[in-house]
Amino acid sequence: MPKDKKVLIGVILAVLAASVFVIFNPFRFTAEITPDTQGYSPTNVPRAVPTYVEAPEEKYTFSSLVRQVKAGEVISLHVIENRVTVETADGKWSSTSFGSGDLIERLISLGVSEEQLANLEITYSIPPPFWLLPFILVAGSFIVFAVMVRRSSGTSGPLSFGKSHAKEVSDGQLITTFEDVAGLIEAKEELMEVVEFLKNPERFTALGARIPKGVILFGLPGCGKTLLARAVAGEAEVPFFPISGSEFVEMFVGVGASRIRDLFTKAKEAAPCILFIDELDAVGGRRSGFGMPSAREHDQTLNQLLSEMDGFDQQTNVIVIGATNRLDVLDPALLRSGRFDRRIAVDRPDVRAREAIFEVHVKGKPLSDDVDLSKLARATPGLTGADIENIVNEAAILTARHGRKVIGNTEFEDAALKVVAGPERKSRVISEEEKRKIAYHEVGHALAMHFTKGSDPVHKISIISRGLALGFTMPLPEEDRNLPSYEWLVGQIVGLLGGRAAEEIVLGKKGITTGASNDLERATDYARRMVTEWGMSEKVGLRSLNPLPDAAVMENQFRDTRSYSDHLAETIDAEVKRILDEAYDQAKEILASRRDILKKVVERLLEVETLDRKEFLTLVS
Ligand code: ATP
């Protein structure tokens, strides 16, 4: 359970417990007032007096009280409404009712002298105001409710939870333009149209063209969706309202819908403008139709979003840009024409785009001459724009830490390694023997890659532990591979199995370690996909045996999601095993016939801990 919820439940329970205690508390004490008239109280010291006393052995009546007062046995009297509690000199407490009227007057009328009364301490209490309790409970509940809403919505006032938290970012603050977005050429071209529309809507409306209402940017996190949306607003010089879809996710039915209404009202007032909903899937996921309160809240919020978008007319001039990593989970109604009907893929950058992103982010930073951004771009396949921004930032931090004035190639390479493989863990204790095993494993990868046709060139080998890895071998592909070939895939598997092959060759079957677990996982994944997705096994043929996507699996959760026979399943297993076995034999063959090279590279690696491509090539040639 989240910590916030625990605190909340704790507060509610505490309020309830306190209320129950106040109402039923058998030990309650009353507020005490001492009359300042007539001088009946000799001490005037307020004391707590129990209003609940044990039953006396014989019935204590008002006459008993009068008798005891006259006999001088009473020390104090404590009065609450028409009841008096009596404390006698022998330390006993008794209690009796004296009916209506004033106690003192009644005692005097029954023959108690003023002198006898003067020796007593008489105090009066007002009963606790029980009639206030309902008010206290209501006020307490309101405070708890307000705290709850404030916690869940982050708003400052208990009454503002139905309002959206989108803050307008306008003119002066919008300094992002398409120039700041590197790569993503097609996405920018598509969005240029939106910019045009925001700048000159008449050009389109004069021709009767329907203006786009919504655009969805979809793709992996960190690839520049938010950046693109900001750039559209910057280019069109219109206000920008960014909000995250998760801000509409509430536990109270109707709050999300009311926030949507408020957001669209704000946007319409500021039109022309861009309304940017990040994490659109949080608010736009498929409607379930189930009656759970959370599902009802979600459905209501989404319905509100749909109807607000339908409410746009030709004059509205508000464009809604949504961003999501999961296009497949969005409700189909959101994607139909007239709503988010433009879908733009924002994909991982290719090698040229990565170089361009490096260029955008190094702008204004002092670089040394040895920095080669195109090489860095090649060394970072699969990384996103956010990763690259991170590398540049890390490189600048490292430079400052080294006390240098310009960022050099070493800092960039170290920063890239840190982002790709995690930070160095120099403090990790590794014995000499283990270090040697790691070195054999890594050089095994490197040699298997180097001597397999179609494999990527080796860029770096290291036995410095980083993140969870004890060592790594980094390839440097010449270019991004959009269409991996059979040869390349086999080369990848041979390279991955090279580590285990080296261990077996040098340490024997009994000396192999667990270090290959991640390699085996990746190699198996390649082999399985070669057989089931890419039609690369003759025995299985060209059938696509793709597993169902997540959403389909969810919908078919009680059905068998496999669409092939047990016999074919066995063939698939056998084929995956065959590909792995053949690749492993190939890796062993490469290494067994080059044991001298393997040893030479390992010795050097143990000396320097990290080998770059140049030195590696010298050693293997
Ligand atoms: P999420 O899905 O997590 O919201 P996103 O796709 O919206 O991610 P952004 O927030 O736009 O990603 O990108 C994060 C950062 O990465 C940006 O602030 C920017 O510095 C950098 N970045 C990403 N892509 C690019 C790019 N194409 N050009 C320049 N910088 C980029």
Statement to judge: residues 326 and 180 lie in one domain: yes
pLDDT exceeds 70 at position 620 = yes
223, 281, 350, 363: residue to mutate for ligand 1 pocket, most atoms within 8 A of CB: 223
Ordered DSSP codes for 149-187: HHHHH--SSGGGTTS-----B-GGG----GGGS-S-HHH
Top-confidence range, 19-28, 557-566, 567-576: 567-576
pLDDT tens-digit map of 251-300: 566 677 888 888 888 888 887 888 899 988 888 777 765 556 567 777 78
Q: Judge if the beta carbon of residue 383 lies within 6 A of ligand 1.
A: no
Q: Judge if the beta carbon of residue 285 lies within 6 A of ligand 1.
A: no
Q: Give mean pLDDT, residues 583-607.
A: 95
Q: What does the pLDDT read at residue 193?
A: 85
Q: Is 163 among the domain residues? A: no
Q: Is 478 among the domain residues? A: yes
Q: What does the pLDDT read at residue 157?
A: 44
| Residue identifier of the C-alpha nearest atom 9 of ligand 1 | 224
Q: Is 165 among the domain residues? A: no
pLDDT band at 32 (very low <50, low <70, confident <90, very high): very low
Statement to judge: residues 323 and 203 lie in one domain: yes
State the total domains in the chain. Answer: 5
Domain C-terminal end among 345, 365, 386 = 345
Statement to judge: residues 501 and 593 lie in one domain: yes
Domain C-terminal end among 345, 365, 389 = 345
| Residue identifier of the C-alpha nearest atom 18 of ligand 1 | 227
Ordered DSSP codes for 312-341: --TTT-EEEEEEES-GGGB-HHHHSTTSS-
Backbone angles phi, psi at 130, to 5 degrees: -60, -25
Statement to judge: residues 412 and 436 lie in one domain: no
Q: Judge if the beta carbon of residue 524 lies within 6 A of ligand 1.
A: no
Query: Position 609: which residue type?
Result: E
Does 442 qualify as catalytic in the annotation?
A: yes
End-to-end CA distance of the chain: 60
Statement to judge: residues 113 and 192 lie in one domain: no
Q: What does the pLDDT read at residue 34?
A: 39
The rounded distance, in Å, linking the Cα atoms of 260 and 254 is: 10
Domain C-terminal end among 421, 440, 470 = 421
Statement to judge: residues 386 and 293 lie in one domain: no
Range of the domain at 138: 3-28+131-153
Closest ligand 1 atom to the C-alpha of 227? 11
Q: Which residue has the tokens 């095994």?
A: 444
The CATH number covering residue 443 comes to 1.20.58.760
Q: Judge if the beta carbon of residue 221 lies within 6 A of ligand 1.
A: yes
Q: Judge if the beta carbon of residue 177 lies within 6 A of ligand 1.
A: no
Residue 181 CA to ligand 1 center (angstroms) comes to 9
Q: Judge if the beta carbon of residue 182 lies within 6 A of ligand 1.
A: yes
Peptide bond into 46 cis (omega under 30): no
Ordered DSSP codes for 89-141: TTS-EEEEE--SS-HHHHHHHTT--HHHHHTSEEEEEEPP-GGGHHHHHHHHH
> Which residues partner with 472 through β-bridges?
462
Percent of the chain past pLDDT 90, that is, above it, reads 29
| Residue identifier of the C-alpha nearest atom 16 of ligand 1 | 386
The rounded distance, in Å, linking the Cα atoms of 431 and 354 is: 39
SS3 track for 540-560: CCCCCCCCCCHHHHHHCCCCC
| Residue identifier of the C-alpha nearest atom 1 of ligand 1 | 221
186, 217, 226: residue to mutate for ligand 1 pocket, most atoms within 8 A of CB: 226
Q: Is 440 among the domain residues? A: yes
Q: Judge if the beta carbon of residue 279 lies within 6 A of ligand 1.
A: no
Q: Is 580 among the domain residues? A: yes
pLDDT exceeds 70 at position 489 = yes
Q: Judge if the beta carbon of residue 80 lies within 6 A of ligand 1.
A: no
**What is the largest distance, in Å, between two alpha-carbon atoms of the chain?**
127
pLDDT exceeds 60 at position 465 = yes
| Residue identifier of the C-alpha nearest atom 19 of ligand 1 | 386
The rounded distance, in Å, linking the Cα atoms of 191 and 178 is: 10
pLDDT exceeds 60 at position 69 = yes
Statement to judge: residues 181 and 243 lie in one domain: yes
Closest ligand 1 atom to the C-alpha of 349? 27
| Residue identifier of the C-alpha nearest atom 15 of ligand 1 | 386
Q: Judge if the beta carbon of residue 357 lies within 6 A of ligand 1.
A: yes
In a 10 Å sphere around its CB, with 0-12 CB exposed, 13-18 middle and 19+ buried, how is residue 593 labelled? exposed
pLDDT exceeds 60 at position 249 = yes
pLDDT band at 590 (very low <50, low <70, confident <90, very high): very high
Please indicate whether residue 209 or residue 533 has the higher confidence score (pLDDT). 533
Q: Is 158 among the domain residues? A: no
The CATH number covering residue 405 comes to 1.10.8.60
Statement to judge: residues 543 and 602 lie in one domain: yes
| Residue identifier of the C-alpha nearest atom 31 of ligand 1 | 385
**What DSSP state is assigned to residue 344?**
E
Residue 394 CA to ligand 1 center (angstroms) comes to 17
The CATH number covering residue 254 comes to 3.40.50.300
The rounded distance, in Å, linking the Cα atoms of 436 and 500 is: 14
Residues 287 and 243 sit within 8 Å (Cβ to Cβ) = no
Statement to judge: residues 453 and 372 lie in one domain: no
Q: Is 460 among the domain residues? A: yes
Statement to judge: residues 57 and 74 lie in one domain: yes
- CA-closest candidate to residue 322, choices 344, 301, 302: 344
Q: What is the mean pLDDT of the chain?
A: 80
Q: Judge if the beta carbon of residue 275 lies within 6 A of ligand 1.
A: no
The catalytically annotated residue of 235, 297, 442, 503 is 442
The CATH number covering residue 54 comes to 3.30.720.210
Q: What does the pLDDT read at residue 272?
A: 83
Statement to judge: residues 239 and 305 lie in one domain: yes
Q: Give mean pLDDT, residues 588-602.
A: 95
Residue 453 CA to ligand 1 center (angstroms) comes to 36
- CA-closest candidate to residue 496, choices 470, 468, 477, 515: 515
CA 474, 475, 476, 479 dihedral sign is negative
Q: What does the pLDDT read at residue 30?
A: 40
Q: Is 164 among the domain residues? A: no
Residue 388 CA to ligand 1 center (angstroms) comes to 10
pLDDT band at 420 (very low <50, low <70, confident <90, very high): confident
From the CB of residue 517, how many other CB atoms can be counted at a distance below 10 Å? 10
Residue 226 CA to ligand 1 center (angstroms) comes to 6
Statement to judge: residues 374 and 270 lie in one domain: no
Q: Judge if the beta carbon of residue 325 lies within 6 A of ligand 1.
A: yes
pLDDT exceeds 80 at position 156 = no
Q: What does the pLDDT read at residue 603?
A: 95
Sheet holding 214-218, edge to edge: 240-244, 273-278, 318-324, 214-218, 342-345
